[in-house]
A and B are shown apart, each in its own frame.
Chain A
Amino acid sequence: MFALQRNATRYRIIKNHIFNGIVLFFTVLALVPLFLIVYHVVKMGIPAIDWDFLTTTEAPPDTEGGGIVNSIVGTVAITFLATFIATPFAIAAGTYIAFNRKKKLSEWVYLSCSALQSIPAIVVGLIIYIWIVAPMGRFSILAGSVACAFMMFPIIIISTVEVISLISNEVIEAAFAMGASFFKTIMKVVLPIATPGIAAGIIIALARVTGEAAPILFTAFGNPFIPTTVTDPASTLPLTIYKFAISPYENWQETAWGASFILLLFIIVVNFTTKLLTKKR
Chain B
Amino acid sequence: MIETSTPNKLSNLNKKDPSQKQAAVFHKMKRLKPLSIRKPSIAKKRPQIKNISQQFSHAETILSITDLCVYFSATKVLKNININFPKKGLVAIMGPSGCGKSTLIRAINRMHELDQSTNVTGKLMLGNQDITTLPAMAVRQRIGMVFQRPNPFPNMTIFQNVLSGYILTGMRLNKKQKNEIVIENLKKAFLWDEVKDRLHERGTFLSGGQQQRLCIARSLAMQVDVLLLDEPTSALDPIATTRIENLLQTLKKEIPIIMVTHNTAQASRISDYTAFLYLGELIEYNKTKIMFTVPSDKRTEAYLMGRFG
Contacts and interface: CB of A to CB of B under 8 A. Distances in A.
Task: Tell me whether A and B are bound partners.
Answer: yes
Most chain A C-beta atoms within 10 Å of own C-beta, residue among B144, B153, B169, B170: B153
A192 B75 CA distance: 37
Contacts, number: 66
Interface string B204-222: 0000000000010011001
A220 to B, nearest CB: 39
Given A192-B155, A193-B155, A175 B114 contact: no
B215 A174 contact: yes
Contacts of B153: 171, 174-175, 189, 193
Given A184-B170, A185-B168, A176 B155 contact: no
Q: How large is the interface on A (under 10, 10 to 19, 20 to 34, 35 or more residues)?
A: 10 to 19
A173 interface: yes
Interface string B137-152: 1111100110111010
Contact of A175 (B141, B149, B168, B219): B168
Interface in A182-230: 184-185, 188-189, 192-193
A22 interface: no
Contacts of B116: 102
Determine the main DSSP class of A at the interface with B: helix
B165 interface: yes
Contact of A176 (B111, B154, B219): B111
A35 to B, nearest CB: 40
A189 B114 contact: no
Contacts of A64: none
A178 B164 contact: yes
Given A174-B215, A177-B145, A168 B168 contact: no
B149 A188 contact: no
Contacts of A184: 168-170
Given A173-B114, A184-B169, A188-B167, A179 B151 contact: no
9 contacts: A170-B148, A176-B111, A177-B109, A178-B222, A179-B165, A180-B169, A184-B170, A185-B168, A189-B153
Closest 4 CB pairs of A and B: A179-B141, A180-B168, A179-B140, A192-B155
Interface of A: 102, 168, 170-171, 173-181, 184-185, 188-189, 192-193
